[in-house]
């Protein structure tokens, strides 16, 4: 199995994502953090698989994305790479990997492409990230922007709050979108902003917008896979639709397993291996029956 761009004509590429906006086709995106889920997401036909730094919370149990490191991200990107054959693979740049200077940002983004096999990177922030975006784009790395409720801004926002609700705040986010487009980003994630603002940005910019908690008018949608599958059994944000309750199902399945082992109901004889002697005895008794 190869994920090579040249050997798989069905592969989703950056130009194909841009083309989808022009053709009025909705874009689908989901996060994946490991090989098994990456395969399922890819085979289901999702356009963009994002190895999001949300993994810090849903996979590593942190209470924010801030502690996530480059090494952790790279390990997950490599695993997801092995599971993705067709979708565009985007790696999220963790907090601290692109805030120091452009040289460091470029070095980290290059690691995602060269070591991780990512086809694009995502970073948070608008106007203040324009120069960094330009620098990565000059090095032929496609960049997905991310504005609005940017989780890495947790400390300055003072919490996870919907952004851009006032006219002035909305205008700043609108300017951020224009700055990212001008800097050469190929798409922009719009997170946690009013639907009306997302619609205005989507109508104005030529690159696709991918919404999460930004209403239905974006060019595409992205969700954290744990939210979509109901694996997260804690707080469920308003913008999430749970398409399954895998967390409850997993819990019930594990309770059943524990009970069966306690009651000596697992494993049964047919779930056990047998010695050769017993196998031959059984064949003998079948023949003589």
State the nearest-atom distance from the C-beta of 266 to ligand KIV, in Å: 37
Of 191, 196, 199, 280, catalytic? 191
CB of 161 to ligand KIV, least distance (A): 16
Query: 128 has which bridge partners?
Result: none
Nearest-angstrom CA–CA distance, 130 and 127: 5
Determine, following the binding rule CB under 6 A, whether residue 231 of this chain makes contact with ligand KIV. no
Which listed residue (147, 189, 201, 214) binds ligand KIV by CB under 6 A?
A: 189
Q: Is 47 in the site for ligand KIV (CB under 6 A)?
A: no
Is 191 catalytic? The answer is: yes
Neighbours of 26 (CB within 10 A): 13
119 is a site residue for ligand KIV (CB under 6 A): no
Among 212, 214, 218, 229, binds ligand KIV (CB under 6 A): 212
Q: Which residue is nearest to ligand KIV (CB)?
A: 52
Q: Go through the chain and tell me how many residues it has.
A: 289
Asked whether position 227 contacts ligand KIV by CB under 6 A, the answer is no
Residue 53 interacts with ligand KIV (CB under 6 A): yes or no: yes
Under the binding rule (CB under 6 A), the answer on residue 219 touching ligand KIV is no
- As measured in angstroms, the least distance from the Cβ of 16 to ligand KIV is 20
Tell me the Ramachandran region of residue 64: left when phi exceeds 0, alpha when psi lies from -120 to 50, beta otherwise: beta
Closer CB to ligand KIV, 128 or 138, in the complex: 128
Asked if 31 is part of the footprint of ligand KIV (rule: CB under 6 A), the reply reads yes
Among 143, 224, 228, 246, binds ligand KIV (CB under 6 A): 224
Q: Which residues here bind ligand KIV, judged by CB under 6 A?
A: 31, 50, 52-54, 92, 189, 191, 212, 222, 224
The residues annotated as belonging to the active site are: 191
């Amino acid at each position: 199995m190869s994920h090579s761009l040249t050997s798989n004509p069905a592969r989703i590429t950056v130009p194909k994502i841009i083309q989808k906006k022009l053709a009025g086709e909705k874009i689908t995106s989901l996060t994946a953090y490991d090989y098994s889920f990456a395969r399922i997401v890819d085979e289901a036909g999702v356009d963009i698989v994002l190895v999001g730094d949300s993994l810090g919370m849903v996979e590593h149990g942190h209470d924010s994305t801030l502690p996530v490191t480059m090494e952790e991200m790279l390990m997950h990107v490599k695993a997801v790479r092995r599971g993705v054959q067709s979708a565009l693979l985007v790696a999220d740049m963790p907090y601290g990997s692109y805030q120091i200077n452009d040289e460091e940002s470029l070095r980290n983004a290059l690691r995602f492409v060269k070591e991780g096999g990512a086809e694009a990177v995502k970073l948070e922030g608008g106007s203040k990230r324009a120069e960094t975006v330009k620098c990565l784009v000059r090095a032929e790395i496609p960049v997905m922007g991310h504005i609005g409720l940017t989780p890495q801004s947790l400390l300055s926002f003072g919490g996870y709050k919907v952004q851009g609700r006032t006219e002035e705040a909305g205008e700043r986010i609108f300017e951020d979108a224009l700055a990212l487009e001008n800097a050469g980003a190929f798409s922009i994630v719009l997170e946690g902003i009013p639907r009306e603002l997302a619609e205005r940005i989507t109508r104005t910019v030529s690159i696709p917008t991918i919404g999460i908690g930004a209403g239905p008018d974006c060019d595409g949608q992205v969700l954290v896979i744990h939210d979509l599958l109901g694996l997260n059994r804690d707080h469920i944000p308003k913008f999430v639709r749970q398409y399954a309750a895998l967390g409850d199902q997993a819990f019930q399945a594990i309770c059943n397993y524990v009970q069966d082992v306690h009651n000596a109901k697992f494993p049964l004889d047919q779930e056990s291996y047998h010695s050769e002697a017993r196998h031959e005895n059984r064949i003998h008794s079948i023949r003589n029956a």
